[in-house]
Amino acid sequence: MNGKLVEQITPRDKDFAQWYTDVVKKAGLIDYSGVKGCVILRPYAYAIWENIQKTLDGMFKQTGHENVYMPLLIPESLLQKEKDLVAGFAPEVAWVTHGGEEELTERLCIRPTSETLFCEHYHNTIQSWRDLPKLYNQWCSVVRWEKSTRPFLRHREFLWQEGHTVHATSEEAIEETIAMLETYAEFCEKYLAVPVIKGKKTEKEKFPGARDTYAIESMMHDGRGLQAGTTHYFGDTFAKAFDITFTDKDNKIKFPFQTSWGVSTRLIGGIIMAHGDDSGLILPPRIAPTQLVIIPISAHKEGVMDTAQNVKTRLLTAGIRAGMDISDQTPGWKFAEYEMKGVPLRLEVGPRDIAENMCVVVRRDTGEKQRVSLDNLEREVESLLDAVHDGLLERARLNLSERTYDAFSIDEMKEKLDNQIGFARAMWCGSEDCEQKINDKTTLRSRCIPFEQTKISETCVCCGEPADKMVLFGLQY
RNA sequence: CGGGGUGUAGCGCAGGUGGUAGCGUGCUUGGUUCGGGACCAAGAGGCCGUGGGUUCGAGUCCCACCACUCCGACCA
């Protein structure tokens, strides 16, 4: 190591925000554009998104959902139809006012979310119970004119998926809302190695226009929470606002019940902040664009390149996303580079290994090196990839539990927060007043009312009145 | 939207009291290296964030705007 003027990233525990920004830039995930909050997803970031998309899309389709595409622009009059939705989104909507030189007679909003478009379409296409359910999903970008922006966590334009479904009964719609939340939770744990807490949002925190909002909350390495996904049960409010009706089996005209649900490129921010360390990113193997990178050592020497190439071909054939760096950088430089990029496994082959029909495989999450025989390489790599996934999930679970505690007083909540212990489980009486007071006094907000309830005390942490709900409070991104 | 910081080569930075730009690294070429960010040599690279103003002359002074970043408020 020559140690001079090597590009360093800020240590994670010294300044988490700066560490995050450094990683995002230096791992080559994004570039900034000339418009605030609109970032360029470079190939590496987009490849991660594609893998997320591919997996989730498969899960949606397995449960009968179909993809559609709605227009980017929404006429103002259409957006106005559901009053809570308009009120909720008005401050952050971007408007198109001109077509060429001419001012439009009605201004058009760039979708901040597509409920209204789906509703209009449902109004036009649903007539009979036979048309239900409609299980639609859309992959697109939306625009919300946020005041402060951060890469992945808060963009003005961001990529996401929005599911919009219509059902004949409220029971079925509620079931869908919960099922999609379960899908998100499963995806986060099985593919992103991010454990989540499932729960319902309080009245204050729910989506504008929704009857009920549910969310999965995850814990970042600095003690702040990240809402990884949400699902909404709309009841029949949107159906009534947009006059969506169907004739049921009993020949009566009824309003159907709706849901919507979404996850965004914010998930990538979550991966970075849940797993990354002082050397950079650590990508969960199941969505990593490159799962293993081969570094030939002394590549000019007899047999090295042939062996390395052969190893790559074998791994690719086995379905492993293997890459190889044959550039003329030194091995040390390459090691640091792929650690920064978070590639889960690194494989070294050099003359010494080849002589013994071996190679060296190094785990990104633990740094653990092991010599592996070339004979059963595929099996070894597969099991190591699983081991990295399990290791990351385990570590993230530990982080979640270490930063979650049962709170019995407001003072305690403030004190724990100073030590980056960010999730407080506390009893709540159910009044919005208390929720607001807790926020004012501690800066913590209610994240959700977890499905898994423990009655940790009999009284509200704020007012002392009888309480029967345990709420998760936290600082959020 | 409030408060702080920043904008000069791809990246990191230096450019007292105004005089038309420099260092490190990276990049290109050639050579030596190659198991934890190698070394030598020769090159290329700049509308000094944008727009106004002051001035004979602005990277430098004044005003406005834009972007980035951190801390709040608001939101996925």
**Paired sense of beta strands A358-363 and A322-324, if any:** unpaired
CB atoms near residue A99 (< 10 Å) = 9
- In which residue are the tokens 């074998």 written? A314
Beta strands in A236-376 (DSSP E): 246-247, 253-254, 257-264, 292-296, 322-324, 345-349, 358-363, 369-373
A265 touches strand B (CB under 7 A): yes
A207 touches strand B (CB under 7 A): yes
- Residue A46: CA count within 13 A, CB half-sphere: 6
Which residues have C-beta within 8 Å of that of residue A37, sequence separation ≥ 6?
A146, A149, A154, A155, A156, A157
CA of A5 to C1' of B40 (A): 19
d(CA A297, CA A305): 9
By C1' distance from the Cα of A33, the closest nucleotide is B67
CA of A26 to C1' of B11 (A): 10
List the CATH code of the domain at A404-474. 3.30.110.30
CA of A43 to C1' of B75 (A): 28
A375 touches strand B (CB under 7 A): no
For A48-80, the pLDDT digits (tens) are 999 999 999 999 999 999 999 999 999 999 999
By C1' distance from the Cα of A295, the closest nucleotide is B35
Give residue limits of the domains in chain A. Answer: 16-275, 292-394, 404-474
DSSP state of A207: P
For A105-154, the pLDDT digits (tens) are 999 999 999 999 999 999 999 999 999 999 999 999 999 999 889 999 99
By C1' distance from the Cα of A157, the closest nucleotide is B76
Strand partners, A388: none
Whether A273 shows a pLDDT value over 60: the answer reads yes
Name A residues 316-345 whose Cβ lies under 7 Å from strand B.
Answer: 328-333, 335-337, 339-340
By C1' distance from the Cα of A159, the closest nucleotide is B76
Q: What is the pTM of this model?
A: 0.96
CA of A329 to C1' of B42 (A): 20
Q: If you average pLDDT over residues A354-362, what whole number do you get?
A: 96
A16-275 maps to CATH 3.90.1150.170 = no
For residues A176 and A88, the model is more confident at A176
Nearest Cα to A288, choosing from A262, A323, A312? A323
d(CA A430, CA A434): 8
pLDDT at A8: 74
pLDDT at A7: 58
CA of A328 to C1' of B28 (A): 14
d(CA A392, CA A398): 10
CA of A269 to C1' of B34 (A): 36
DSSP state of A431: -
Burial class (CB in 10 A: 0-12, 13-18, 19+), A418: exposed
Give the torsion through C-alpha atoms of A367, A188, A383, A299, to 10 deg.
-50
Name A residues 351-370 whose Cβ lies under 7 Å from strand B.
Answer: 351-354, 359-360, 362, 367
d(CA A294, CA A127): 58
pLDDT at A14: 85
Whether A1 shows a pLDDT value over 60: the answer reads no
Whether A414 shows a pLDDT value over 70: the answer reads yes
CA of A278 to C1' of B12 (A): 19
A420 touches strand B (CB under 7 A): no
Torsion region of A68: left, alpha or beta (phi above 0 gives left; psi -120 to 50 gives alpha): beta
Between the alpha carbon of residue A441 and those of residues A156, A219, A410, A413, A445, the distances in Å are: 30, 22, 8, 9, 10
A21 touches strand B (CB under 7 A): yes
Q: In residues, how long is chain A? A: 477
Name the average pLDDT for chain A.
Answer: 94
A156 touches strand B (CB under 7 A): yes
Strand partners, A264: A160
Q: Do A16-275 and A292-394 agree at the fold level?
A: no
Residue whose Cα is closest to the C1' of B33: A330
For A209-232, the pLDDT digits (tens) are 999 999 999 999 999 999 999 999
Name A residues 88-127 whose Cβ lies under 7 Å from strand B.
Answer: 91-92
Give the torsion through C-alpha atoms of A264, A265, A267, A272, to 10 deg.
-170
For A169-191, the pLDDT digits (tens) are 999 999 999 999 999 999 999 99
Q: Quick one: how far is CA A143 from the chain centroid?
A: 17
Which sign does the torsion angle of CA A212, A213, A216, A218 carry? Answer: negative
CATH of A292-394, one of 2.60.40.10, 3.40.50.10680, 3.40.50.800, 1.10.3720.10: 3.40.50.800
d(CA A322, CA A285): 11
